[in-house]
Chains A and B, each alone.
Chain A
C-alpha cells in the first residue's frame, strides 16, 4: 500500500524530477507500440480502449494505468527520473524491462543511475542465456492432466555443455492457492477464477520431481531458439511481475497464455496470443510456438512410473515376483534361489525393486523402515548396476488431434432416421484419434449434441458438463484403480419407446487389465443419480456396472461396452454398444456406433450411427 502511495505521489509531483519534455506525439506512438502493450499485458477492450490482464494496482504507476497505456507510459518516463536514493524501490529497479526499452526509444541519456542491488544480484543468479519450454504431458490416471501445463526453463550459458539443467530455474505461472480449501472448491475456483495467478521462479529440479515423480507425468522439453538477448529481455520483464497478481482462469487466462505473452516480450513481433481468443489449451500453445518457428530441438524425460513399467516389461512373471519379494525384504538378495539367477537378471530385478519402493513412497512422509529398505537396495545396485534404461519416446503430444471437436452424424433409431450435430469444447474420448494420447484416458468438457429426426423434429440429445474416464491397467507390480465420473443431460429410454431427457450425475470405480499389447479390458461398479419425469421421485438413485474392451487396432480405437443401471424404483436400464473409430487424418475421424438399449419400461431399441468428427482448433 505504502509503495503504491509512493508511486502516486511520484506521479503527482512528477515535474519535480528532471524528466525532459517529450514530444506528445512520440509518447502517443510508443504507447500504441505492441511491445509496450505486451509489457503492460494489455488487451483491447470489448468495446473500445484497453484493459490489462494484471489485476494488481501496484503494477501500475499511473492511477488509471490499467486502462491507459498512454498514461502509464507517461508516468513511467517521469518515474524513471526519481531520485536514486530510493535504492531498490527505484522504478528503474522495479521495471528493468520498461526502463531499457524507454531509454532506447526515447534516447534518455540523462537518466539518473539507480543502484539496483537486489535486481542485479537476482539477475546474476539466474544468469539467463537460453530458454526451454517445458510441457508435462498427460498422465493416464489423471485425465485432467490431459490439458497439460507449460512452463519455461531459463538456462545459463553452460547448461548444454555441462548437462546441468537441474541447476536451472523455471518460470511457472499458476494459481496461488491458500492451504485450506477443499478439493471441490479448489477445482471450482480454479475454473471460475477465484484464485489469483502469480509468476514464480523455482529451481527446475523442484518442478521435475513434482511432475516426474509425484504426478508421474512425462516431460517434454522444447529448446527455443531465443537469443541470449531475447531471453534476458524476457527475464527482466519477469522481474517486473514479481508478486504481481493476475486473474487466473483455467481455460484461457492460464499458464500457457501467460507464457505466450512472455515469449512476445522476448521476441517482439511474434503473434502468439492473438491465436487464442477463447481458450488456451497447453498442447495447442505448444503447437503455436512450434509453428512460429521457435523450437530448435526436443528432449524427452520419461516419468518415474513409465521408467518402472518399462523396466518391469523386460521381466517375466517369475522375475516380477522376485521384484516384489526383494523390495519387501532385502534378505532375499542372499536367497540361493535368487543368487542362482544370471547376474544381469538379478541387476534388473534389483533395479525394478528399488524403483517400486520409491514409487510407493511417492507423496508420503519419510519413513525410517522404508528409507532403510531403499538404501539397502541402492547398495545392492551399487554392487551390480543394471544396464541403462532406454525408454522409447512416445508420440509428441502436440501431434495429437486438436482440442475442439465438431461432429456431424447420420443414423437410424429403430426405423427413424436422424441427423446429429455436435460440438465438444474439449477434448478426447476413448475412441478419438489416438496418436499423442494415452489409451484408456478420456476427458470431455462441455459437449452439446442436437438431433434432427425425420419431419424436422429437433431435440437436445445430450449436454455433458464433464465426462471423465481413467482406465489404467493393473499389473503384477502396480494396482491402480480405474474410475469415471460424469454429469449433464442425456436421453434415456422411457415409456412407449420415448426418449426422455434426464439430468444425471454418475461415477464408478473398478479395475482395468492389459489383455494384449493393444487391448484393455475393464470392469467398474457404478452409481447414478437421475432426475427423470417418468419417475415419481424427484431424484432416483441406481447402482450398476460398466464393463468392456478397448482395442487399439490399425484403423483406430474400438470399444465394446456393456452397461447396466438398476434403479431402486425397479427400472432396469441396460445397453450394449460397439464403437469403431476410423482415423482418417490427424484432425478427421469417422466413427461407427451401434447400440442396443434395454429398459423395463419398453421394448429394446437399436440405434446405428455414422459420425464424422472434425477436430478443429
Chain B
C-alpha cells in the first residue's frame, strides 16, 4: 500500500516540462459552467476522518485543472486559471451584479480598485454575452469578458494587459 501511495503522491509536476500550449500540455481547458462536483458516496464518513481522497497536493498545480500557473496567463500577478474552479460562483455573482467571485475576477484581471464597481456593473449588464450559453467554458468566459471590456472606454485598458 505504501508503495502505491508514494507513487501517486510524488506527482509534483515539473515546472520545466511545459511550454507550448497556454497553460502547459496537461492543461484541462474548458471547465464548464455547472460541471458536476465530486460525488459524496461516503459523506458521513468523510467528516469523520476529514480526509480528502487522493488529495494530498501541494499547491501550484492543484485546482487549476493541470494548468501551470506561470507567466503569460497571469493578470495582475495572479493566474486567472484559478477562476476555473469558480465558474458557478462567478456566473451567479455576475448575474446579480455583485459578490466575492466577481470581485476576485476583477482583481485577477488587474482591474484597479476604483474601477471595480464599474467593472461589476458592466459585466452585469453584459452577463448574457459573457455567459452566452449553458455549456460555456472558462476560456469562452474569459475571451467574452475581454471583448466586453474592449468596448468600454474606462475598462478597455484591462483587456490588453497580458
**Is B97 a contact partner of A366 (Cβ separation < 8 A)?**
no
Cα–Cα distance between A457 and B75 once the two chains are bound (Å): 77
Decide if B45 is an interface residue (CB 8 Å cutoff). yes
Which residues of B sit under 8 angstroms from A553, Cβ to Cβ?
Answer: none
- 5 closest cross-chain pairs (CB), A and B: A190-B49, A175-B51, A203-B63, A365-B36, A375-B134
The 10 sampled A-B contact pairs (Cβ below 8 Å) are A117-B15, A164-B103, A199-B56, A201-B59, A201-B62, A203-B64, A374-B134, A375-B131, A378-B92, A381-B96
B135 at the interface (CB under 8 A from A): yes
Q: B33 near A: Cβ within 8 Å? A: yes
Q: Count B interface residues, CB 8 Å.
A: 68
How many angstroms between the C-alpha atoms of A364 and B78 in the bound complex?
Answer: 30
A142 touching B59 by the CB < 8 A rule?
A: no
Q: CA A202 – CA B33 in complex, angstroms?
A: 21
The answer, among B49, B78, B104, for a CB contact under 8 Å with A195, is: B49
Min distance, Cβ B93 to any Cβ of chain A, angstroms: 10
- Assembled-state Cα–Cα distance A372/B40 (Å): 23
Considering only residues 403-454 of chain A, those with a C-beta below 8 Å from chain B are: none
Report which of A144, A243, A386 forms a contact with B9, defined as CB distance below 8 A: A243
Q: How large is the interface on A (under 10, 10 to 19, 20 to 34, 35 or more residues)?
A: 35 or more
Any chain A CB within 8 A of the CB of B4? yes
Given A215-B43, A385-B96, A167-B78 contact (CB < 8 Å) = yes
Q: Are A183 and B45 within 8 A (Cβ)?
A: yes
A363 to B41, CA, bound (A): 9
Q: Is B98 an interface residue when CB atoms closer than 8 A count as contact?
A: yes
Asked if B54 and A206 sit within 8 Å, CB to CB, the answer is: no
Closest-CB distance, A56 to chain B (whole angstroms): 10
CB–CB A164/B104 < 8 A? yes
Complex CA–CA separation, A406 to B35 (angstroms) = 48
Contact A200 B58 (CB under 8 A): yes
Give the distance in Å from the alpha carbon of A254 to the alpha carbon of B48 in the complex: 10
Residues of B within 8 A of A (CB): 1, 4-6, 9-10, 12, 15, 32-60, 62-64, 69, 78, 82, 85-86, 88-89, 91-92, 94-98, 100-101, 103-104, 107-108, 113, 124, 127-128, 131, 133-135
Contacts of B44 in A (CB 8 A): 142, 144, 183, 187
CB contacts (< 8 Å) of A586 on chain B: these are none
Q: Does A379 contact B (CB under 8 A)?
A: yes
Q: B95 to A378, Cβ gap below 8 A?
A: yes
User: What are the residues of chain A within 8 A of B108 when measuring CB–CB?
Assistant: 164, 167
Known interface pairs A375-B133, A385-B95. Does A122 touch B41 (Cβ–Cβ under 8 Å)? Answer: no
Q: Hey, which chain A residues are within 8 Å of B38, CB to CB?
A: 210, 214, 363
Residue A186, interface by CB 8 Å: yes
Shortest CB-to-CB span from B6 to chain A, Å, is: 8
> Smallest Cβ distance from B154 to chain A, in angstroms?
19
Q: How far is the CA of A166 from the CA of B104 in the complex (A)?
A: 7
Contact of B107 among A164, A213, A248, A388 (CB under 8 A): A164
A138 CB → nearest B CB, Å = 9
Cα of A242 to Cα of B78 in the assembled complex, Å? 23
Task: Using known A-B contacts A205-B82, A361-B34, A382-B127, determine if residue A149 contacts B47 with beta carbons closer than 8 Å.
Answer: yes
Assess whether A209 is interfacial by the CB under 8 Å rule.
yes
B91 close to A378 (CB less than 8 A): yes
Cβ–Cβ < 8 Å partners of A215 in chain B: 40, 43, 46-47
6 more CB-based (< 8 A) A-B contacts, given A186-B45, A205-B63, A243-B58: A118-B12, A166-B104, A173-B50, A183-B41, A183-B44, A382-B124
Question: Are A190 and B86 in touch, CB under 8 angstroms?
Answer: no
Flag whether A227 is at the interface (Cβ < 8 A): no
Give the B-binding residues of A (Cβ under 8 A): 117-118, 121-122, 125-126, 139, 142, 144-145, 147, 149, 161-167, 169, 172-179, 183, 186-187, 189-191, 195-196, 198-203, 205-206, 209-210, 213-215, 242-243, 245, 248, 250, 254-255, 354, 358, 361-368, 370-372, 374-375, 378-379, 381-382, 385-386, 388
CA distance A178 to B55 in the complex (A): 10
Q: In the assembly, what is the distance between CA of A254 and CA of B49, in Å?
A: 8
Given contacts A174-B50, A381-B96, contact A169 B34 (CB under 8 A): no
Complex: chain A residue closest to B42, CB-CB: A183
Query: B34 touching A254 by the CB < 8 A rule?
Result: no
For A371, give its contact among B63, B94, B135 (CB under 8 Å). B135
A201 touches B57 (CB 8 A): yes
The answer on a CB contact under 8 Å between A255 and B50 is yes
**Nearest A-chain residue to B16, judged by Cβ:** A117
User: Pick the contact of B40 from A117, A198, A214, A245 — CB < 8 Å?
Assistant: A214
Known: A142-B47, A374-B34, A379-B95. A186 touches B42 (CB 8 A): yes
| A187 touching B45 in the complex, CB below 8 Å, given contacts A122-B58, A178-B4, A366-B34 | yes
Which residue of the partner chain B has the closest CB to A202? B62
Decide if B56 touches A200 in the complex (CB within 8 Å): yes
**A176-B56 CB under 8 A given contacts A203-B63, A368-B135:** yes
Nearest Cβ distance between residue B50 and chain A, in whole angstroms? 4
> How many Å lie between the Cα of A294 and that of B58 in the bound state?
26
